[in-house]
Structure 1
Amino acid sequence: MAMTDMKDNVAILGNTAIMPLDNEYIVNQRVGHLRANGYKGVTYPFIYLLTNSTDFLVDLRSRANSGVQVNLSSSEIKTSQTVLPSEKVNTAFSEITLPMFETIISNQLENQRLVQLRDTLLPKLMSGELDVSDIDL
């Protein structure tokens, strides 16, 4: 969760992102790390959708400290209140959303691999280092 933003913009403050790979990211002290612990069947899609909802962000940002930069404290994040559905509802929600989120993440990772492959092969093709003229399709 972004815990600092520029005062003139406040476009990312409180927003969350899904980090699909462990130990692949470097963050500083102004980024909060949220994890679903399975309480009452809550999974990461619920947390992601909740924390990026307009109502949640408006409430959270209203409690931020303002100066040159706008800052959220971890205590303000922890005091955020929300209605938590029953475990049965959360489980049903997760059965629908988890496969969707897993597909989205898988597609994003595949897109990253394809971009890397393109960026590696294209210069070699353009320079003539690789010749594909004999390949039949």
Structure 2
Amino acid sequence: MKSGYAFKSKDWSDEGKPVIKIKDINGTSIDFTNFDYVNNKSELTKASNFKVFGEEIVMALTGATTGKIGVIPKNFKGYINQRVGLFYTKTNLSYAVLWSILQQENIITDLIELSSGSAQANLSPFAVNNYDLNITINDLIKLDKMLLPLYKLFCFNLSEIHSLSELRDTLLPKLTSGEIPVSQAAK
């Protein structure tokens, strides 16, 4: 895991490339409804190591939502903000096995307990990276082979949900205002 990029307040814009912040992690996926954006090309170049392309897993590292995880839907392109942890693989294992591990409540509880800070929890990527799962690599490989097709389908479904939500949000106001007749929408 690594922390995201520390974009500066002057970098934020109403358009540009979406940046995943802690507020966007909903426990399952990413909430697309309230992204903040960066349009500063030089900052985006500096943040190139924090670019995501879909199917990655992120975790909130600070505050009341510490430990909350989200899967980035397939084909999403954006960046990770600071205090959002981005998991990356150092092996040939996919994110599928990591996703299944992070679904274990006791694992998340253990990770949250590694947080420091008196006013608000701060979980360090170092602490997450050094957490001992006590699972052999052979068992992880077997688990990964079983879960990968399901994880791929899960990521695809997240992407479809997002696309259909956007379509609904575009069409519904037009249908309710009469801009598009209901009979035409059925075609």
TM-score by length of 2: 0.58
Structure number with the higher strand fraction is 2
Q: Per the alignment, in what secondary structure is the counterpart of residue 17 of structure 1? A: strand
Letter in 1 for 2:84: V
Q: Which residue of 1 aligns with 2:119?
A: 68
Letter in 1 for 2:86: H
Q: Which residue of 2 aligns with 1:123?
A: 173
Q: Which residue of 2 aligns with 1:103?
A: 153
Q: After TM superposition, which residue ranges in structure 1, 4 or more long, deviate above 6 angstroms? A: 134-137
Q: Which residue of 1 aligns with 2:130?
A: 79
What residue ranges of structure 1 are gaps of 5+ in the alignment?
A: 7-11
Q: Which moved more, 1:53-62 or 1:96-105?
A: 53-62
What is the alpha-carbon distance in structure 1 between the residues aligned to residue 146 and residue 77 of structure 2? 28
What is the alpha-carbon distance in structure 2 between the residues aligned to residue 30 and residue 120 of structure 1? 33
| Structure of higher RCO (CA pairs closer than 8 Å, 6+ residues apart) | 1
Paired positions, count: 129
TM-score by length of 1: 0.75
8 Å contact kept, 1:15–1:51: no
Identity of aligned residues (%): 28
Question: What pairs with 1:1-137 in structure 2 (closer than 5 Å)?
Answer: 1-6=59-64, 12-21=65-74, 24-39=77-92, 42-87=93-138, 89-133=139-183
Question: How far has the Cα of 1:81 moved from its partner?
Answer: 1.0
Q: Per the alignment, in what secondary structure is the counterpart of residue 131 of structure 2? A: coil
Deviations 1:28-76 (A, max 9, x none): 221111112335xx32121122234222222222221132211112222
